[in-house]
Chains A and B, each alone.
Chain A
Amino acid sequence: MNELVLRRQELVENPTARVPVCLCLDTSGSMAGPPIEQLNRGLQEFYAAIKADDIARYSAEIAIVTFGGTASQVTDFCSIDRQAVHGLAADGGTPMGEAVDIALQLLEQRKKEYKDAGVDYFQPWLILMTDGQPTSPWEPVADRTAKLADAKKLSVFAIGVGDGADLTVLAKFSPRRSPVRLDGLKFGAFFEWLSRSVTAVSNSTPGQEVPLPPPTGWTTV
């Protein structure tokens, strides 16, 4: 069947409230070698974990934007079952600002699709991962992101990879939740935590803090 039709059909026929998650991932040249390999493996495991959980499978929706040389959308939101995971390659500079800008657009667009169709959704999540410093202007986008987070219209999780990651920059994107540094290259542990956290959202009492699992196993303390 036509992609457009299929996408629409799976949107309206699934009654589950969605949690749109946009992964905004650094694929710049400095990620080459073990980091990008571990990131790719972590992504594979992330998809596998979500597909294996009957709650996450029908509530989580994932889009991926990468920034390495250029900012670019790798996958758009659709049913997890139909999403293929692509191997990412590391190359070029770190246009983080542009990437987050694309991510915000994608999330905004998806929210509009939910609204128009009458599909319930939770506020979207933005996962921002970088191992360095932005190589192009990023402040205006950081401001917009921070405002959305402050208004509780977006949950931001900012993660630094390696010692070169500038957590002060990441903090500008994530005012409500301090950025954390990944412990070594434990992408797998992080994505495992993320897949469990997505499920927790749809199972939480309003007004109470979402009981996310403790971020043990992948953060440096």
Chain B
Amino acid sequence: MPPPFQIPFGPDLRVFVDTSALMEPGADRSFETLAPELKRHGLKAIVPQRVIDELKKMTGSRGALAAKGLRILERLRQEGLLDIKGETDDGYVDNLFQAVFVRFRLKYSLLLITQDGALAQDVLSLNDANAVQRIRGIFAARVAGGGLQGWTSGEADRARPVRAPGQSGTAPVPAAIPSHHLVTQSAALEIVKTVPGLGDQVSDAAGRVHRLAKLLGTGGEGSAFLTDTGMVCKIYRADRLFRTRLEKLELMARNPVGHRAICWPTSVVRRSEGRVGYLMSAARGRELQKSVFVKPLLVQHFPSWRKVNLVQLAISVLEPIAQLNSRGILLGDINPRNILVASDSEIYLVDTDSYQFMGHPCTVGMPPFLAPDLYGKQLDAMLRTPEHEAFAVSTLVFMLMLPGKPPYSHQGGEDPAKNVKAGKFPYAVGDRKGKAVPEGPWRFQWSHLPRYMKEELDGVFTDGKPLGAAAWLDILVRYRNDLARGNVSNELFPTALKELNQAQTLKAGGRWVPCTACGKEFGLFEPHPQPLCNACKAKRVAEKAARELAAAPQPARARSALPSAPTRATPPRAAAPRAAPQRPAPPPPPAPPAPVDPLTAVIKWIASLFG
């Protein structure tokens, strides 16, 4: 009989309770013992809302135990010792505690009370995940004999049970992957006569047969199929069957990460003569690029979204990334084509075969996510660093906050790679004015971000200090809380700069003055002989831009500069008479009376952007 568990009490301790502990026979006595101790140390038991939802859903014999669990919670609540966190639908049931512990392990010491040995092992393993910073201490205990008994690493591992589906906790997760030396990638190919296609059968490592039942898509490396066993199977093209990659996939399959959002390889598949691809769990949703990163698609697929949904989406995406990173696994090629979005709290990471894993490098990557020092490098002959990963993650965060806009897009910019290398971050922060900020709605979206978001993003893109996924999760959760409390704007596509009120202006060191054009009072931060409010300033800018636009040569009138070029006086002939009405106007047009004066229209539009 091991000695009873000594709770590591202290002001920084946070105590979490899992469903299984509340349903354990005799749990009521254990919590009765625990309650006065919590009270003495000014602590509360933290219970996710979802644990309560789970308890309420149980029926039959489990329903009786669940009802007892709910009574325990009710007693704790009456004594002021219960803290219910989260919402009904936040994130993944499977990984809630892990996610929370990854996020808060640097800030608090953490105790989880659970009967689930596997879950205990998973959170305990975060103690030795080769984290850069010091972890405060993670503990796990179970309800036993009217008190608590501690889980220890090895014991929890041995006790790893098969968990009922739908029960909170996590699937088995290995401890940190130790750092590795680069595994040299060779061009040697697995030799197969033909790669399997639709309708063909492949077998997995356990000898189980899967039929390729439906083609899901074809990319540069091969095709993905849905199998008759409900899995997804990627089959490589014959010239992409690199042996080193197949070896990496076998290593990955032997080291599952157990996160529902990560479509990790579960087995390499082969036909009789050789290995041809790998199996993974099925995902759903649309690519981030095709659902969120262009306004018309965002509005089409998620018409009810507000800013808070984007922030929640960022949290949902970064959670599995933080967990992988905490185990020394880098995604390497983070990009909006390999993240699938089903909702703001259900996402899937796909194309995991490119991850950097146990010394096998990630050989691909694309701007603007590729860190500036990686351009021109042989990606297959080096290992990425956590800083490279942090750059990609930070870029992703920026592009979720200003949907689809890369952080280094700026006036005068060029292709995405050159913009990253140039490293000009154009947006205004604090007293620093924006410089070469892209035209359009971006400056407004930026201005509506809370100050701390702007400062962190500026730290990444101006000072070159990228933040990793775990650090961003803290910031994003703060943003989500501020949105929930109504402290910050929830507008998805703001059409004007954020306006400060009188108190905010004075607090920020500005003066509250009347606009010299319209008389409305506003915040002024730099002395000006003729102060103008945002709206009037925007109007002046719009008028100027409209004058320039009107004066610019019409782009639709390009003509050959070659002296020999004959000018066609008539429009191009249509091939068939029925196509004639669609014919374009002959250039240059003898300007027909426009329905709206172009200048007025331009002014109206630009002014509308400024509100």
Contacts and interface: CB of A to CB of B under 8 A. Distances in A.
Counting chain A residues whose Cβ lies within 8 A of the other chain, the interface size class is: 35 or more
B415 A15 contact: no
A101 B411 contact: no
A97 B566 CA distance: 12
B602 A89 contact: no
Contacts of A189: none
B6 interface: no
A93 to B, nearest CB: 10
Contacts of A105: 558-561
A208 B439 CA distance: 31
Q: Which of B367, B379, B436 has the most CB of A within 10 A?
A: B367
Contacts, number: 190
Interface in A44-92: 54-55, 58, 66, 69-77, 84, 86-91
Given A37-B575, A54-B290, A120 B409 contact: yes
Contacts of A208: 364
A200 B411 contact: no
B583 interface: yes
B146 interface: no
A115 interface: yes
Interface in B570-590: 572-576, 579, 582-584, 587
B9 interface: no
A161 B549 CA distance: 41
Contact of B573 (A5, A89, A141): A89
A17 B438 CA distance: 13
Given A2-B601, A205-B364, A117 B562 contact: no
Contact of A75 (B363, B559, B584): B584
Nearest to A136: B564
A208 B363 CA distance: 10
B295 interface: yes
B220 interface: yes
A205 B558 CA distance: 34
Contacts of A115: 411-414
Nearest to A137: B564
A55 B290 contact: yes
Interface residues of B, number: 73
Interface string B27-61: 00000000000000000000000000000000000
Contacts of A119: 409, 438
A204 interface: yes
A38 B24 CA distance: 74
Q: Which of A4, A12, A86 has the most CB of B within 10 A?
A: A4
B26 interface: no
B440 A12 contact: yes
Contacts of B605: 1, 5, 8-9
A14 B565 CA distance: 35
A170 interface: no
Contacts of B411: 115-118
Interface in B362-407: 363-368, 370, 375-377, 379, 399, 402-406
A69 B570 CA distance: 12
Contacts of A84: 582
B351 to A, nearest CB: 11
Interface string A104-123: 01100110010111111111
Contact of B596 (A2, A16, A77, A122): A2
A88 B572 contact: yes
Contacts of A120: 368, 406, 409, 413-416, 419
Given A12-B439, A87-B579, A106-B558, A203 B366 contact: yes
A98 B564 contact: yes
Contacts of A136: 564
A59 to B, nearest CB: 9
Given A106-B558, A200-B220, A118 B412 contact: yes
B294 A58 contact: yes
A203 B572 contact: no
A41 B436 CA distance: 43
A66 B572 contact: yes
Contact of B567 (A36, A70, A76, A116): A70
B556 interface: yes
Contacts of A30: none
Interface in B399-456: 399, 402-406, 409-417, 419, 426, 436-442
B520 interface: no
9 contacts: A14-B294, A15-B399, A66-B572, A70-B567, A98-B566, A101-B560, A109-B558, A116-B439, A120-B419
Given A14-B295, A101-B561, A213-B220, 19 more contacts: A4-B601, A12-B440, A15-B406, A15-B409, A16-B294, A17-B416, A69-B568, A76-B556, A87-B576, A88-B575, A106-B558, A116-B411, A116-B439, A117-B440, A118-B438, A120-B419, A122-B416, A205-B363, A205-B379
Interface of B: 220, 289-290, 293-295, 297, 335, 337, 363-368, 370, 375-377, 379, 399, 402-406, 409-417, 419, 426, 436-442, 549, 555-556, 558-562, 564-568, 572-576, 579, 582-584, 587, 594, 596, 598, 601-602, 605
Nearest 6 CB-CB pairs, A to B?
A118-B438, A12-B440, A87-B575, A87-B579, A15-B404, A89-B573
